Structure 1
């Protein structure tokens, strides 16, 4: 059913959206099928206009998520805890954001969307057993040199308190931004030299299938060499959020604190199997001010070919 318009909380979002209440969080498998089927009809034809609608699911009971959380923690290297890390909250909310992207009036095709970056904030610890409200919407269509980029916003609330907010930025190639939408984050890549690594990840060919099992994201570019080749990759590629969440886990809950901001920007994909060198170190501003904050980077082992970079900053 459709509720009255409700004001949302993200700075810069339109003043009000129509809020559609769903009975439960959707399953990614069915959403991907819808998205793939609907992508063929979504071609560049004028400026992109996003639907002003948010999806919301109330009373999401996390009591039954213990086994799922444990599997996630084992795979990513998070210590056993009843506190849900930001990567798990992303997994929890991602199907609702995907449901927005497969709407008939969403102008961009799910097929071929490029994941550029993420910013997430944990504003209050979320614990296993708490009842949550999850909501998601799209905003911020703006120019990119190869098309248009858009933000998918996901929020998790405990009661009326905003606990988690995630912004996932995607690129749709060939599309046109609305008039007056200035380019954002489209500067040329800077020169980069790999730092000294602090870890080396040896990722097997099954890494994509393993993360797909805990995230629900069974996109064939991650789980099958044949599926990846159909999209122009020589073999399967790791989920970007797997690499970012693993780096978050290596920073660890003690150093990141109860509340923190976690960012990641993606460059070249990680081919599977593959070896990734990783550097996690204090941020320069953290050293100069005596506060805590971390930067992380990952690159192809033995090469100056960067896969990702990000930050973890206590709030």
Structure 2
């Protein structure tokens, strides 16, 4: 199995990553699977300015919303390190074949702002299906000796691949999402704003033109450009009426694009075990995003 360990002392440089993505991929070898890579961003920190951007997107700055956003903040601002991993020249499959499916975000302690930290990402497990591969990427935030936050992001590569049916841990969000009754009255509705696209690309490190350029999105078969999933998750958390207790886990299922200019409808079901929510875009029968916060 190929090993590769790379350390960044500043944010991975997006143009260099995009050049890597244009290089030919070495291809899938079922004997090797995904390589044993670990990427480390030393000095990573969540700035107060970045958190303020999330609060503006959420539309609320109360304490309960801030607690929810702190569960998402490392995922938003540290996502470019995952992009660096998936765009590495030695990665077997190209980034343009990867589709983000699910997220599991876990907070186990206090997350400090404006504190130089280590962010570490690596592939931990994958499953070979009839029509593709699911890959789990683990991200961990280290602040001194503590790991107050980690995430497991599941990606999907379409195609037919040989190899063992599964490898490594399967600790991410489950394949099946919880259901939210679409007949429930919406908790709230809003128009998905198309401004600040480059700001969110810079925050996440995801400069996919599907999130930036309407003409490109339509040329590739989509109705329009769509918002970054992290941006939509922030907006959902800002509208929830869940209890004020700080959540320790958030699972997200990304089911479809959230197009700019469309009307979004958020529905919520809360009980003693947590809050489940679904986001629908006008004209679509199925939700574009489902989440469970506990």
Query: Which of 66, 69, 88 in structure 1 is aligned with 2:48?
Result: 66
| CA distance in 1: counterparts of 2:26 and 2:241, whole angstroms | 41
Q: Which residue of 2 aligns with 1:205?
A: 194
1:223 pairs with 2:212? yes
Question: Cα 1:51–1:45, aligned 2, differ >3 Å: closer, same or farther?
Answer: closer
Q: Is the 8 A contact 1:278 1:296 kept in 2?
A: yes
Q: Which residue of 2 aligns with 1:310?
A: 291
Structure 1 unpaired stretches of 5+: 1-16, 287-291
SS of the aligned residue for 2:166 comes to: coil
Q: Which residue of 2 aligns with 1:297?
A: 278
| CA distance in 1: counterparts of 2:152 and 2:177, whole angstroms | 22
SS of the aligned residue for 2:244 comes to: helix
Q: Which residue of 1 aligns with 2:240?
A: 251
Q: Is the 8 A contact 2:130 2:160 kept in 1?
A: no
Q: Is the 8 A contact 1:248 1:312 kept in 2?
A: no
Q: Please say which of residues 189-198 and 100-109 is displaced more in the overlay.
A: 189-198
User: What is the deviation of 1:85?
Assistant: 1.4
Q: Is the 8 A contact 2:178 2:276 kept in 1?
A: no
SS of the aligned residue for 2:288 comes to: strand
User: What is the deviation of 1:191?
Assistant: 10
Q: Is the 8 A contact 2:85 2:91 kept in 1?
A: yes
Question: Cα 1:189–1:261, aligned 2, differ >3 Å: closer, same or farther?
Answer: closer
| CA distance in 1: counterparts of 2:32 and 2:62, whole angstroms | 44
| CA distance in 1: counterparts of 2:160 and 2:92, whole angstroms | 9
Q: Please say which of residues 267-276 and 171-180 is displaced more in the overlay.
A: 171-180
Q: Please say which of residues 73-82 and 123-132 is displaced more in the overlay.
A: 73-82
User: What is the deviation of 1:22?
Assistant: 2.8
Q: Is the 8 A contact 1:21 1:57 kept in 2?
A: yes
Query: Which of 83, 86, 89 in structure 1 is aligned with 2:71?
Result: 86
Q: Please say which of residues 224-233 and 71-80 is displaced more in the overlay.
A: 71-80
Question: Cα 1:174–1:214, aligned 2, differ >3 Å: closer, same or farther?
Answer: same
Q: Which residue of 2 aligns with 1:13?
A: none
Q: Which residue of 1 aligns with 2:119?
A: 134
Structure 2 unpaired stretches of 5+: none
1:276 pairs with 2:257? no
Q: Which residue of 2 aligns with 1:236?
A: 225
Query: Which of 20, 26, 30 in structure 2 is aligned with 1:34?
Result: 20
Q: Is the 8 A contact 1:29 1:216 kept in 2?
A: no
Q: Please say which of residues 114-123 and 265-274 is displaced more in the overlay.
A: 265-274
| CA distance in 2: counterparts of 1:77 and 1:47, whole angstroms | 49
Q: Is the 8 A contact 1:70 1:80 kept in 2?
A: no
Q: Is the 8 A contact 2:209 2:216 kept in 1?
A: yes
Q: Which residue of 2 aligns with 1:25?
A: 11
Q: Which residue of 2 aligns with 1:125?
A: 110
Query: Which of 39, 58, 61 in structure 2 is aligned with 1:76?
Result: 58
User: What is the deviation of 1:116?
Assistant: 0.7
SS of the aligned residue for 1:72 comes to: helix
SS of the aligned residue for 1:205 comes to: coil
The number of aligned residues is 284
Q: Which residue of 2 aligns with 1:100?
A: 85
Q: Which string of whole-angstrom CA distances, capped at 9 and with x for unpartnered residues, describes residues 86-136 of structure 1?
A: 222112221111111122221121013111110101111212232211100
